[in-house]
Amino acid sequence: MSAHFDLILKGGTCLTPGGRQVTDIGVCAGRIAALGDLAGADAAERFDADGLHLLPGVIDSQVHFREPGLEHKEDLASGSAGAALGGVTGFFEMPNTKPGTLSAADLADKLARAAGRVWTDHAFYVGAAAENVDALADLERLPGCAGIKVFMGSSTGSLLVPDDATLARVLAAGFRRIAVHCEDEDRLEARKADIPDGAGSEYHPVWRDEETALAATRRLTALARAAGRRVHVLHVTTDAEMALLADFRDVASVEVTPQHLTFAAPDCYERLGSLAQMNPPIRAARHRDALWRAVRDGLVDVVGSDHAPHTREEKARPYPQCPSGMTGVQTLLPVLLDHVAKERLTLERLVDLTSAGPARLFGLAGKGRIALGNDADFSVVDLKARRRISNDWIASKSGWTPYDGMTVTGWPVATVLRGRFVMREDELQGAPEGRPLRFTECLPPAPDRAA
């Protein structure tokens, strides 16, 4: 073949829509230009991928990078550096910053902060609140917006939609899929007074019990079906929720997190204390088993990390004053690859949950598949590499991971964004050049060819 490419990735096992293929990939102008034998082609750069697997770029569809207002925990630069180091090429960032992301000006501010500082492609959720319901239909269509996020349980500032009347108004405003944190605020408040003196984080799944999650998910799905609005139920944690959601596939998609697939109570609280504390909580092993069944049965659409860092000092506060949340974007792919090695998950299903699934669910343009014309985003992994996850590898400002000391099989060795290496062998490359993600539902209409 007589052709010239900017980059050729040679001889890797590629996870394509047609299955696994040992093939070359040619990249031009940031896009996949050729798949096949490119031995006779010229290239400005070549990468020998023999023995490695090339996945479509991993997209983490739930992170909290804390900027603006909480930069002592994390910021867009450090959070996205962790993403790139972990093999992630794109992220959706949540709106519970200070101030919250509630307006077009708030979204524009985040996009401006990201320009020239973020290592991966990115989009930002706008939060729903009683004060901005009438603007949501316009806000969700803005460039760089991942959609609307609803907190049914307490979050930052006014980012709370606890009642059905306001939630119904939110569901009636706009048309894109809405991401929802399902915990029932009234039940949380009622049960908070029952937390015993001296309780530790092991009490977290008792306070924020199964019914707290199920009641909110039940309310949401009924309202979504009545409104004909698609919803995305974040970080599902219980067997009862999964049984319910199986009956609402017409309106509801499902996310789980690596930590809920990996940890179980009470062991995680005994080992990690408040470092294992998040909302909704890590629960007993029977719930973890139910999540795995839902993954195998195809009910789960997406795995997101819910990366939500806090400093060690904040985490050391007595319960329940210690904040909930843990790091996760950098460990998302290594932890899931280890589950592949342990035969809990196939590599193809991993791709569906972290690349093709997010792209399909949210209408990402040019992402999620190794296919001609798509962006040349790749998470390059060594399935045989055995590595020990450690705090000193973590780029987050918080400086810790709940997986510290865990040895995993499978590791990201390179991250390629639009044909450019942003990570190789645990080292960031060049300068941050992440761009806003594009969504097909928000792109301008194609030109009228007949005009």
Catalytic residues, by residue number, are 306
* Buried-state track 423-440, b at ≥16 Cβ within 10 A, e below 16: beeeebbeebebbbbbbe
Strands annotated E in 155-197: 178-181
Q: What is the distance between the alpha carbons of residues 361 and 333, in angstroms, rounded to a whole number?
A: 19
Residue pair 395/321 in contact by the 8 Å Cβ criterion: no
Q: Dihedral sign, CA of 250, 122, 291, 352?
A: positive
Helix (H) or strand (E) holding 279: none
Q: What is the distance between the alpha carbons of residues 335 and 341, in angstroms, rounded to a whole number?
A: 10
Beta strand 53-56 pairing with 378-388: antiparallel
Q: At what angle do helices 210-227 and 164-171 cross, to 10 degrees?
A: 40
Helices (H), 342-383: 347-351, 357-362
Amino acid sitting at position 74: E
